[in-house]
Structure formats: structure tokens, C-alpha cells
Amino acid sequence: MYKATVTIKLKKGVLNPEGMTIKRALNFLGYDNVKEVQTYKMIDIIIDEEDEEKVKEKVEEMCKKLLANPVIHDYEIEIKKL
Amino acid sequence: MYKATVTIKLKKGVLNPEGMTIKRALNFLGYDNVKEVQTYKMIDIIIDEEDEEKVKEKVEEMCKKLLANPVIHDYEIEIKKL
């Protein structure tokens, strides 16, 4: 059994409306020294598989097929044996 | 200048509809050995502040006031000097 942690970030230069909205709200609340806010998503996937290479291969496929949009996202995969 | 990374996770026992939807989609795509999917959010905040203690204090406030819902979320804060 493995746990794969996928980090999905917007590519450099792609606007982060959520981050900008949070920054504006924090500045509005008086946190004027907040200069930048970036948000990104983490996905933990528990996979019933014994071969680490196979896990890595499958999670790469999952990212390409479903989890990440190759046009705007970069992703990283971290794998841990449970 | 500091970077605070806030990890916001749903509390144990709180349903994760996004994770469940991703799991169903992955199983539908043929990844039957995917047993569980959890999603959570990360927020990087760049703060123009020189005192690390003050940064920690302010980010705690930001989490309580805006970033995390204390009823359903747990959060962790990591601080790094830039």
C-alpha cells in the first residue's frame, strides 16, 4: 500500500485569482505587509499496489488524464510506502 | 521578508466531496486499486516583516479570521525566511 501526494501549482505567469482575492482581503483586514499570496492544491491518493515503480507510473497517468491541466498546471509527485 | 506556508485540511470525519469525486473518476478510468483520495489546500503568503514571532502571530490571526473555518478545518503554519 502506498500514499502518493500530488502537488498541483499554477505555472509561473498564470494568474492566480484566488490568491489575489485572499491578498486583497488580508490587506483590507489591515495586514498591509502581505505582499503576495499563492494558493495550490495537494491530493493524497492511497493505492493498493506493491511495486513503487508501478505506483509512480500510474499516478503520472492520473495527473495527465485527470488531475492536472497541462496548459496551466505544473505538478509534482511524492510517493511513500504505508 | 518571510514566506508562511499554511496547510488547510478538513478535520477527521468531515466528508471530502472533492476527494470522493476524484476517487470515483479514477476508479471509472480503470484505476481500481485507488482506495482513498483526500484533497487539501496550501497557501503561500509573502510578508514584509523582520520579526519571525510577529509573522507567526499574524498568520495565526489570518487563519482564524479568514483562511480557515475552525468548525471543519485544521491548519498548520510553516515559516521560512526569504
Name the burial class of residue B77, with classes exposed (0-12), middle (13-18) and buried (19+) by CB atoms within 10 angstroms of its CB: middle
Please, which pLDDT band fits residue A65 given cuts at 50, 70 and 90? very high
Contact residues, chain A, for B8 at CB < 8 Å: none
Minimal Cβ distance to B39: which of A42, A46, A58:
A42
Contact residues, chain B, for A34 at CB < 8 Å: 45-47
* Ramachandran quadrant class, A30 (left: phi over 0; alpha: psi -120 to 50; beta: rest): left
pLDDT for position B17: 95
Please, which pLDDT band fits residue B34 given cuts at 50, 70 and 90? very high
The CATH code of the domain that includes A18 is 3.30.1280.10
pLDDT for position B71: 94
Please answer yes or no on whether B26 and A45 come within 8 Å at the CB atom. yes
Give how many domains chain A has, as a whole number: 1
Average pLDDT over residues A65-74: 95
Please answer yes or no on whether B47 and A33 come within 8 Å at the CB atom. yes
* Ramachandran quadrant class, B3 (left: phi over 0; alpha: psi -120 to 50; beta: rest): beta
Reported ipTM: 0.89
Chain B contacts to A (CB-CB under 8 A): 1, 7, 19, 22, 25-26, 29, 31, 33-49, 58, 62, 65-67
**Largest Cα span, chain B:** 51
Please, what's the b/e burial string for B33-47 (b: 16 or more CB within 10 A of its CB; e: otherwise)? bbeebbbbbbbbbbb
Average pLDDT over residues B9-15: 94
Chain A contacts to B (CB-CB under 8 A): 1, 7, 19, 22, 25-26, 29, 31, 33-49, 58, 62, 65-67
**Which residue type sits at A15?**
L
Contact criterion met (CB below 8 Å) for B8 and B43:
yes
What pLDDT, in 10s, does the model give residues A2-53? 999 999 999 999 999 999 999 999 999 999 999 999 999 999 999 999 999 9
The domain in which residue B23 lies consists of 2-81
How far apart (Å, rounded) are the C-alpha atoms in residues A67 and A74? 11
pLDDT for position B67: 96
Instruction: Count the Cβ atoms, other than its own, within 10 Å of residue B9.
Output: 20
What pLDDT, in 10s, does the model give residues B35-76? 999 999 999 999 999 999 999 999 999 999 999 999 999 999
* Ramachandran quadrant class, B13 (left: phi over 0; alpha: psi -120 to 50; beta: rest): left
List of residues 6+ apart from B2 with CB closer than 8 A? B46, B47, B49, B52, B55, B79, B80, B81, B82
Please, which pLDDT band fits residue B11 given cuts at 50, 70 and 90? very high
